[in-house]
Amino acid sequence: MKQILFFILLSTISFGLTTPEEENWKVVPCPNNISIKAGSFTFGDGVAINYSDKSLKNIVKLFEQKLNKEGISTGSKTGNKIELKLDNSIEDPEGYVLKITTGKIKLTAGTPQGIFYGSMTILQNIKHANTKTVPCGSVNDAPRFKYRGFMLDESRHFFGKEKVKQILDMMSELKLNTFHWHLTDEPAWRIEIKAYPELTTVGGRGNYTDPDAPAKYYTQDEIKEIVTYAADRFITIIPEIDMPGHATAANRAYPEFSGGGSKKHPDFTFNPGKEGTYEYLTTILREVAGLFPAPYIHLGGDEVHYGNEMWNTDQFVQELMKKENLKTLTDVEHYFIRRMTDSIASLGKKTAGWDEITESGVPKDELLVYWWRHDKPDWLNKALANKYQIVLCPRIPLYFDFVQDASHKNGRKWAGNFCTTEDVYNYPDSKHSFNAKEKDLIKGIQANLWTERFETDKQLDFMTYPRILALAESAWTDKNDKNFKRFEQLLPSWFDYFKQKNIYYFNVLDPASTPEPKPINKQK
């Protein structure tokens, strides 16, 4: 439990979160374990940043750039000092310790990542406290969850490199460390594969609201640029290449690997009965694996039943079922997942997938499960019982394509329910009570923004901000250290920051002041 201590002369008094001293720490996510003393460290016009470990060079460069934007010089030889030091006695690789006196800030961490997060804590306080000071005392901070993620779907609508970088910048300030990039689906294929160029030139055409839109996709050079940009900010990018369903865009480009679909979802699946399908997809994943250093490749693996009915009559699928003694189409689906998991393992990666994948028979040490179906808690319980590692990302409350206010029209609801900022903030403790063994299996939480209904930057921003702030605090801050009233008090300064960044947002404190953006194109 956080202890907030204010020292006056020789007496020590415990204060709540509303003291002026505590309010000076205007940081999201709220740090765990803060102690405050009288006085403050003043940046003034300049500070000196001292470090000796060369591995901190890029962090210091980025930190200096951000301080300079706040009007603080970092070339001072006479001003107050910030000392950065690596110390392997700090066990959590993302943890850090700040010791603050009137003339010096000492930032210590076990890894460069911890140093980076400590620097973001300092920087945020400068930005949002409207003063070039931080209170004296100490911060001994480390995250609640190891996986703190945000997913963006760019198959339905494409937003491009600069928008993704802006999201990554915001994620880094909020100590979110995983960007799940949904790059392929029914509407379009968004990643260049050199072995199969028509995946982008043909499969990259269109979007959810305009099937005739020109092809838009990321070249491999752009992917590398974005991956490096994220890594500099300690963000891992996990790519998602959907299979065996949600394959329509790929099948437009290479129909010989299609397993068919349904009237509503034509050419929805890859063909699991053709050996060439596995060679084709493994070649694709080999290029993907070479672009993304992440330990996981996400295969999707969800909603296959939307369009697998033609497997019932497909010659190759029927021959596979006889050969492998597969009784049902679900058995075929699971066979496919196991084959592709083996391919991913051969590439030195592990498989990630939506919660349907838990029944595929993939060993628990080779799979990361994303539980998304909030109305199917049994699937979460099964995954826990089978000791799979899990990322919690249920539709309610972590799907950011759901509306965030009852008055909003452009977005989803589930039986009348939607996802408010407060609902995001209160998760997961508002929904779950895990025992000690289960807690060890919960890797973290993630918000997902599907973009069927959102085609502009303004719409994307409106659905993301400020809910991503609530997500960050829920992912980082310990349950007993969270305080939604405190969080709300910080929102006005964040709204000002969003305006500076030209980010449109939903003002949860004054909803009428930020009207919902209207779609440009007619929605399906």
CA torsion through residues 132, 138, 142, 144, sign: negative
**Is the Cβ–Cβ distance between 74 and 46 less than 8 Å?**
yes
Torsion of CA 490, 491, 492, 494, to 10 degrees: 100
pLDDT at 439 over 70: yes
pLDDT at 422 over 50: yes
518 token code pair: 């209207």
**Is the Cβ–Cβ distance between 48 and 79 less than 8 Å?**
yes
For residue 408, which amino acid is it?
A: H
pLDDT at 469 over 90: yes
* Model pLDDT for residues 191-217, shown as the tens digit of each residue: 999 999 999 999 999 999 999 999 999
Cα of first residue to Cα of last residue in the chain, in angstroms, is 49
- Are 190 and 321 found together in one domain? yes
For residue 74, which amino acid is it?
A: T
Q: Is residue 274 part of a domain?
A: yes
Mean pLDDT of 52-79: 90
Quote the pLDDT of residue 323: 98
* Model pLDDT for residues 230-253, shown as the tens digit of each residue: 999 999 999 999 999 999 999 999
Q: Is residue 270 part of a domain?
A: yes
CA gap 131, 268 in Å, rounded? 55
pLDDT at 12 over 60: no
- Could you give phi then psi for residue 407, rounded to 5 degrees? -80, -15
Mean pLDDT of 394-402: 98
Distance from CA of residue 247 to its chain's centroid? Answer: 23
In DSSP terms, which residues pair with 75 in a beta bridge?
48
Quote the pLDDT of residue 517: 96
* Model pLDDT for residues 316-367, shown as the tens digit of each residue: 999 999 999 999 999 999 999 999 999 999 999 999 999 999 999 999 999 9
Query: Which of 301, 239, 302, 243 lies closest to 269 in space, CA to CA?
Result: 243
- Are 163 and 136 found together in one domain? no
**Is the Cβ–Cβ distance between 465 and 498 less than 8 Å?**
yes
Q: Is residue 518 part of a domain?
A: no
pLDDT-derived band at 520, boundaries 50, 70, 90: confident
276 token code pair: 């060439």
Quote the pLDDT of residue 23: 59
The count of domains in the chain is 2
**Is the Cβ–Cβ distance between 124 and 24 less than 8 Å?**
no
Of 81, 110, 141, which residue constitutes the final position of a domain? 141
Torsion of CA 82, 83, 84, 85, to 10 degrees: -160
- Are 181 and 53 found together in one domain? no
**Is the Cβ–Cβ distance between 25 and 481 less than 8 Å?**
no
CA gap 209, 214 in Å, rounded? 12
pTM exceeding the 0.85 threshold for the entire prediction: yes
Of 93, 109, 141, which residue constitutes the final position of a domain? 141
Quote the pLDDT of residue 130: 79
Burial of 519 (0-12, 13-18, 19+ CB in 10 A): middle
* Model pLDDT for residues 358-377, shown as the tens digit of each residue: 999 999 999 999 999 999 99
pLDDT at 4 over 60: no
pLDDT mean across residues, the chain: 93
Domain that holds residue 232: 147-513
pLDDT at 5 over 80: no
Quote the pLDDT of residue 377: 96
- Are 80 and 171 found together in one domain? no
- Could you give phi then psi for residue 400, rounded to 5 degrees? -80, 0
- Are 303 and 319 found together in one domain? yes
Mean pLDDT of 269-281: 98
Quote the pLDDT of residue 523: 64
CATH classification at residue 308: 3.20.20.80
E strands along 197-310, which residues?
236-243, 258-260, 269-270, 296-300
SS3 362: coil
Query: Which of 148, 124, 39, 126 lies closest to 391 in space, CA to CA?
Result: 148
